[in-house]
Amino acid sequence: MADMGPRYVPTKLLGSGVHGQVWQCTDEKSGSRAPVAVKVFDTRVPKQLRGLERELVASVELRSRPGAVNRHLVAPHACVFTGSAHVGLVQRLAPGQSLDRLLLLKGRPKRLGVRESMAVFAHMVEALDFCHNRGMAHLDMKAENVVVVAAAHGAWEACLCDFGLSTATAPPLRMGLVGSFGYIPPEVLAHGVLPNFAAMPYAPTAVDVWAAGALLHKMLLGCLPYGADEIMRTALYSHLDRRAAISLMWDAVASAESWRKHVDPLPSCMQGAASLLDCMLQKDPRNRPPIADVLASIVVTTTCGLADDVSDDGADMEQLRDALFRGG
């Protein structure tokens, strides 16, 4: 168990991986002994050290202007040393479950209703807009990094976590392959496939727009765009390495006219949201809208462009929510 000194007392290991450990802790100095999350990095591991540096930069930049950090973001607000080689970053504990976990609970198809999807999506776009306005791009938007919290009156609150891949939006622009499989846009995939692209910079804000579109696609249709889920299964069963899987993903994106090629037929209740996907999943990053424009368009889409969700997907959402937030 991590030793975090007298203030933060670990009570539960929430997760562990190549990027570090996340502990639920009690803050003994708060009046209510409030629970917090502490992400612990081993600075002797290069990947964890880089993640720590990026999380620290993001924390400073997101708080660089007056006003509170957007409520749909979970970013570090304090630092604690947990040993000679370990550093912990303290952040608020979002008392929910990951969106990935929620989708697994859905069964098949693993998707949400249109209105539930748009509610979570709106919160994520608002979070990205806040980041971009403060000169930061997240670069790892995915279902695993979205925590869904039960709110009042049966509503949901969604929060974006994990700034371990984040970067500044100001020049020099980002280079290299970064992100999670299925959420990586073609200009970044090219860095893993085409040698001539290795030194070509790309705009990180456009990467976030594509990834947010991929997330919406996953919530609405139960799969990632351009057949990414099938490619991941093929790579797993064929024991392909990451580079080979990226090459297959590049081929799938490059050979398709648009994301719609893999969706036939398109559910009628999705027509309004589909126009958002058309914009956000543009293969040329110059044709993708800024996240602020996406945020502005969500109001129009949700009020004018959504038909009733005639599928059964939304029918059991209340029971699903109850099961999810009692740990079922």
Q: Which residues are annotated as a binding site for ATP?
A: 39
Q: Give me the DSSP letters along 190-214.
A: HHHH-GGGTT--B-HHHHHHHHHHH
Are 48 and 126 in contact, with CB atoms under 8 Å apart? no
Tokens of 325: 């937030």
Q: Which residues are annotated as a binding site?
A: 39
Name 22's Cβ contacts closer than 8 Å, sequence gap at least 6: 13, 14, 15, 16, 37, 38, 39, 40
What are 79's strand-pairing partners? Answer: 89
Under a CB-based contact definition with an 8 Å cutoff, are residues 178 and 139 in contact?
Answer: yes
Q: Where are the alpha helices (DSSP H) in the chain?
A: 46-62, 99-105, 114-133, 186-193, 204-221, 228-237, 242-255, 271-280, 291-304, 317-325
Strand partners, 168: 136
What gap in Å lies between CA 168 and CA 173, rounded to an integer?
8
